[in-house]
Amino acid sequence: MIGRTRPVAALLWAALLGGPALLRAQDPMSRAFDLERRGSYAQAAELYRGILKDKPAEVTALLGLERALTPINRLSEILPAVQAAIAADPSASPVYAVGLRAYAAANLLDSLPRLVDLWARAAPGDETPFREWAAAALQRRDRSMARRAYQLGRERLGKTDALAAEIAQLAISEQDWITAVREWARAVRQLPGYRSSAIATLGPAPERSRPDILKALEKEEGTEPGRITVELRARWGDPLGALDALLKTLPPQPAQQLDALQGFLEQLRVESTPPYLLAQGRTLEEIADRWVGAPQRSRLRLESARAYAAAGDRPAARRMLTRIAGDSEGGPAVQAGATATLIDLLVREGKADEASTQLERYRTVLPVEDYLRLRRAVAARWGQSGEIGRAEALLAADSSVEAFALRGRFRLYAGDLKGASEMWATAGPFAGTREEATERSGLLALIQPIGPDTLLSFGAALRLFDGGDTLEAAKAFELVGRGLPADAGRSEVTLYAGRLYAMAGQSADAERVFRLVVSKDAPAASAAALLELGRLLLALDRREDATHALERMILDYPTSALVPQGRRLLDQARNVVPRT
């Protein structure tokens, strides 16, 4: 071991003793570079200076000197070397770039135009001198000097689109959107690769400026500004307008058209609101119409039909499904998908009987999961329309948690509060989506205080709500509440009715019902009602009334878990914190 250590130690000693000697033996440039790497900037600078003394136009040494002087805040010392380098080789662009940075750092701003002038003469037609000048100005946050640099550059170069991207970004920093649009249009016409930068910088424009930006883009010639319009419209919540704009500016070649449409589709997929789903459906339809291979074309139409169905455009979904049916080369998977979508559509249209018939007819071609999902959808529709026995019978053999959750709802439709609670207890908290689980918890909390185990009117009211008639449901729940004893669910159900009135936009009824709930006998519901009342009044900008309701809630029900929410709303009502 010792024997092996000695040669290593000897080598280390040699390295330590010999290192400086080795360093001395290197050429001055390598030594300077080494010193720079070790952080000995002052020594490195001296060496670079020495090199420049012999070879004033040695750009590598000049750049090294700049690097060495910058961290020790002595960049202005480079100026004599820069002047000597320019005198020795007036055509070397990097020397001027170093000079610009050095003059700016030394606060000798008056010298910059002269230096830029020299550089521009040395490199005619080059934008770099003006771009570097502006960069030095922007480094000092001097926008007006940057603007002067760009304008002078454009004049000297004699090109109306010179430095357009830079001017556009300067305009963005000053929120001058119209100038930015004009300059980005020039930039993308010159180099389409600028499009993503244009969209990235115009995208965050405030809402009030967006119509002007779109108008300004419409005035610009060429396809590239049109493509910016498409992406901005899609980003700003107008996907259908974006699609129309895209279809107007599609390139003539089919392959390029498909590229553009598919890129647009990807952009739409980030949102799942009806307008975006509708735009997805239309875009998929456009892609399918241009697609040559039949199986993929059918798959695209299927996807389009699903998007249309999800957006609520049933005729368009049916149109797609009909076209799939007419396409004999679609393949069994596509046919099965089309069948499932068609059944789904029938359910959404309220044609549950027809959906059930189709479901059983195509049972063998549908994947099992699709079949079970559609069967539950049919059952849900029957249950909601009052055919509870039929719905329950359809799900009798389904032991999934989703089926138990659905059966619980059927029990509730039938007014069987106890049965619903038991079914939902069996279904547990993971049946369906998170929103569905949360809604079930809310309903469980609502029926818990109700005295009787059976309450037919409750089921009828819930069916109205699930059927989409929120206002009638609110009225029905109010009646249900009125019929319950004060200590057995009256307040809770009436509060629920108030929330539905508010949801249906019936503020006066909501306010009346919330006020009805508040009583000493039901502290939990009263606190919740006062909070809802405060929220409602605040939304109506009746701040004083909202303040009164919220103060009452905090003072009368101090132990309520809702008090922190009440205090936050109270701060908003008093305008002492920003509204969020």
Partner 1 sequence: MKRRDFLGVVGAPLALGLGSPALRRLGALAWPWEASAAWLLVPMDDSQTDHLKAYGVTYRVLERGAKAEWFLNYRGGAFLLPGDAATTRDAALAGVACEPISDGQVTSIKAELGQGNMDAIPLEKPPKVAVYAPPNASPWDDAVTMVLDYAGIKFEKIWDPEVISKGLVKFDWLHLHHEDFTGQYSKFYLNYAGAPWLADMVARNQAVARQLGFPNVPADKRAVAQEIRAFVNRGGFLFAMCTATETLDLALASEHVDIAASYADGSPMDPDAARKMDWSQALAFQNAQLELSPNIPAFSDIDGHQVNSLDRRQPLGAFKLFNFSATIDPVATMLVQNHRDVIPDFYGLTTSFTRRTLKPSVTILADEPGAAWAKYIHGELGQGTWTFYGGHDPEDPQHQIGDPPTDLSLHPHSPGYRLILNNVLFPAAKKRELKT
**Chain positions contacting partner 1, by CB under 8 A:** 73, 105, 107, 109, 139-145, 174-176, 551, 554-555, 558, 563-564, 567-568, 570-571, 574-578, 580
Q: Cβ distance 112 to 104 under 8 Å?
A: yes
Nearest in space to 188 (alpha carbons), one of 178, 196, 200: 196
In sign, the C-alpha dihedral spanning 281, 282, 283, 286 is: positive
Looking at beta carbons only, is 261 or 569 nearer to partner 1? 569
Question: Helix and strand tally (H, E) in the chain?
Answer: 33, 0
In whole angstroms, how close is the CB of 526 to partner 1 at the nearest point?
Answer: 16
3-class SS of residue 199 = helix
How many residues can be counted in the chain? 580
105 or 165: CB nearest partner 1:
105
Nearer to partner 1, 175 or 426 (CB): 175
In whole angstroms, give the CA distance from residue 283 to residue 306.
13
Four-CA torsion 422, 427, 433, 439, nearest 10 degrees: 10
User: In angstroms, what is the minimal distance from the CB of 109 to partner 1?
Assistant: 8
* Nearest distance, CB of residue 72 and partner 1, angstroms: 12
Q: CA-based angle 384:388:393, to the nearest 5?
A: 125
CB 432 to partner 1: min, Å: 34
Q: Which residue carries 């805040």 as its tokens?
A: 73
The interaxial angle of helices 128-139 and 93-105, nearest 10 deg, is 20
> Residue 149 or 377: which CB sits closer to partner 1?
149
Separation between Cα atoms, residue 117 and residue 129, nearest integer Å: 8
Query: Closest Cα to residue 523, out of 558, 484, 567, 493?
Result: 558
Rg for the chain (alpha carbons), in Å? 37
Distances (CA, A) of 325 to 299, 368, 483: 12, 22, 54
- The DSSP H or E segment spanning 403 is helix 401-413
Q: Between 364 and 575, whose beta carbon lies closer to partner 1?
A: 575
Q: Which is nearer to partner 1, 38 or 568 (CB)?
A: 568
H or E element in which residue 23 lies:
helix 2-25
For the bound state, the minimum distance from the C-beta of residue 577 to partner 1, rounded and expressed in Å, comes to: 5
- When the beta carbons of 139 and 273 are compared against partner 1, the nearer one is 139
Q: Whole-number minimum distance, CB 176 to partner 1, in Å?
A: 7
CB of 275 to partner 1, least distance (A): 28
- Cβ closest to partner 1, residue 394 vs residue 553: 553
Which residue, 139 or 426, is less far from partner 1 as judged by CB? 139
d(CA 441, CA 427): 12
Tokens coding 515? 């006020």
Instruction: Count CB atoms within 10 A of the CB of residue 117.
Output: 13
Burial class (CB in 10 A: 0-12, 13-18, 19+), 39: exposed
Using alpha carbons, select from 40, 89, 47, 91 the residue that is nearest to residue 65: 47
How far apart (Å, rounded) are the C-alpha atoms in residues 380 and 48? 82
Q: Which two tokens stand for residue 58?
A: 């040695």
Compute the distance between CA of residue 43 and CA of residue 369 in angstroms, rounded to an integer.
Answer: 75
Closest contact distance (angstroms) between CB of 550 and partner 1 is 9
Closer residue to partner 1 (CB): 383 or 566: 566
User: Which two structure tokens, joined as six digits, stand for 185?
Assistant: 């249009």
**Nearest by Cα to 99 from 355, 89, 262, 85:** 85
Nearest of 189, 198, 196, 141 to residue 166 by alpha carbon: 198
C-alpha neighbours within 13 Å on the C-beta side of residue 135: 14
Q: What are phi and psi of 416, to 5 degrees?
A: -90, 85
